[in-house]
Amino acid sequence: MTTSQPAAKGKRVAIRQDLFTTPLDDLNAVHLKGTKCNDCGEVFMGHVISCAHCGSESMKGIVFNDQGTLYTYSVIQYVPPGDYKGPKDPFIPFVEGLVELPDGIRIVAPVLDCDPKNARINMPLKLKVYDFFKDEEGNDVVAFCYVPA
């Protein structure tokens, strides 16, 4: 397991392109990025060049609010299928949430540091950006989740 060994040479890389503000040095200062349609006001995760609602190509980059609320959720009881990078041995059940941000979007995300028994619809949450796993090159792959606020 990755106990407190000295950090390898790798650098930090984002799990998904265009989703995080940079730099990634201080993860507490990193936020999620989105794109807002100048015509209809719809908001999207990451970088998009056209509005999936109205078709406009007049879009601007925004930074999402770190605060949100839990719109709905489920509890992942079994190891998710595919190349899941969270703890598998043992697997730790976690809350999967649809998190509503004041920016007008609901995002599917893990809700961690939260005992599934204590999860409640409408509970306040805040963004957490963290080193999730090491890739083959020894880079720390940065992911996001929400935690109770």
Partner 1 sequence: MKKIAIVGVGIHPFGRFGEKSYQQIGQEAVRMALKDANVAWKDIQVAYLSSQYLPSTAASRVLKPLGETGISLVDVEAACASGGVSVNIAMLAVQAEACDLALAVGVEKMPRGFMDPMMNFEKWQVQMGLSTNPSYWAMSARRHMHDYGTTEMHLAKVAYKNHKNSVDNPNSMYRKAFSIEEILASPIVCYPIHLLEICAPNEGAAAIILCPAEKAHKYTNKPIYIEACVHVVAAYSSDFRVPIESMSARIENPSPVTLASQKAYEKAGVGPMDMDLIELQDTDAFCELQIYENLGLCKKGESGKLIDDGTTDRNGRIPVNVSGGLISKGEPVGASHLGQIAEIVYHLRGQAGARQVANAKIGMAQVLGARGNCAVTILKR
Residue ranges in contact with Zn ion by CB under 5 A: 37, 39-40, 42, 51, 53-54, 56
b/e code 46-61 from CB counts within 10 Å (16+ = b) = eebeebeeeeeeebee
Q: Which is nearer to partner 1, 7 or 92 (CB)?
A: 92
Q: Give the chain's radius of gyration (CA, Å).
A: 17
Q: Is 124 in the site for partner 1 (CB under 8 A)?
A: no
DSSP structure string for 38-58? TTT--EEES--SS-TTT----
57 binds partner 1 (CB under 8 A): no
Q: At closest approach, how far in Å is the CB of 132 from Zn ion?
A: 32
- Give the residue with the Cβ less far from partner 1, 42 or 148: 42
Position 132: which residue type? F
Quick check: 16 binds partner 1 (CB under 8 A)?
yes
CA 89 to chain centre: 23
Q: How many Å apart are CA 64 and CA 4, to the nearest integer? A: 32
Please tell me whether residue 89 binds partner 1 under the rule CB under 8 A.
no
Q: Which does 37 bind (CB under 5 to 8 A by kind): Zn ion, partner 1, none?
A: Zn ion
Interacting residue ranges for partner 1, rule: CB under 8 A: 15-16, 41-45, 52-53, 71-78, 80-86, 94, 96-98, 100-101, 104-110, 121, 132-133, 141, 143, 145
